[in-house]
């Protein structure tokens, strides 16, 4: 279900040059790379103790477009100041229905995680819940109210698996393009 090569292909297919850095890379090291956007991929385990990544992502969110999937979604949850909780059984497999609460559209997704975003803690942040898992009503997606930051609690790049969520890569591309266009317009005005 999880396929790093497919994730890379989806990013490349949508016009990205991809640079991969370890999870413990600092904000300063990331900014030195001059990224146009930040993609947070999946990973194993409990996101709560991974405070170094939460801190870095919190520092990057006001500065760059960010797209997180699975564990990356959970890191964004913590970076916003919210929390996660352990699911009784976890969500596993390629037939997980997710509903977009803004459009009403239902997608079939691939999931592989044991933690979920706590909805009560998200109420105190600048996050908007965008998607819910239809099996148990847990949060499956969110976006920031003010920054071009969004995340999903599943694998939009799943291979083999459903492709309903691949358009999230296009959304990320559009967020990054708007960011780059605004940055370049600002640079040309100051020149």
In the β-sheet with 149-152, what is the strand arrangement from edge to edge?
38-40, 66-69, 149-152, 139-144, 127-133, 84-100, 106-117
Neighbours of 35 (CB within 10 A): 18
**Residue 2 token pair:** 């999880």
CA-wise closest residue to 146 among 132, 131, 128, 129: 128
Task: Let me know if 170 is a catalytic residue.
Answer: no
Determine which one of 70, 91, 113, 144 is catalytic: 70
Is residue 19 a contact partner of residue 34, using CB atoms and an 8 Å limit? Answer: no
Determine which one of 78, 113, 155, 168 is catalytic: 155
Task: Let me know if 3 is a catalytic residue.
Answer: no
Determine which one of 91, 113, 144, 157 is catalytic: 157
Active site members: 70, 155, 157
């Amino acid at each position: 279900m999880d396929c790093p090569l497919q994730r890379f292909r989806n990013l490349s297919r949508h016009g990205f040059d991809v640079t991969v850095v370890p999870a413990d890379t600092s904000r300063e090291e990331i900014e030195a790379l001059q990224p146009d956007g930040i993609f947070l991929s999946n990973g194993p385990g409990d996101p709560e103790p991974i405070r170094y990544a939460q801190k870095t992502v919190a520092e990057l969110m006001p500065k760059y477009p960010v797209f997180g999937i699975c564990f990356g979604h959970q890191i964004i949850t913590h970076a916003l100041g919210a929390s996660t909780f352990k699911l009784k059984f976890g969500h596993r497999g390629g037939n997980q229905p997710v509903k977009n609460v803004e459009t009403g559209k239902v997608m079939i997704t691939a999931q592989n995680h044991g933690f979920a975003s706590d909805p009560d803690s998200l109420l105190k942040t600048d996050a908007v819940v965008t998607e819910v898992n239809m099996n148990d009503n847990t949060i499956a997606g969110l976006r920031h109210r003010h920054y071009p930051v969004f995340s999903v609690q599943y694998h939009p790049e799943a291979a083999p698996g459903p492709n309903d969520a691949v358009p999230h890569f296009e959304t990320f591309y559009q967020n990054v393009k708007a960011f780059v266009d605004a940055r370049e317009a600002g640079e040309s005005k100051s020149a």
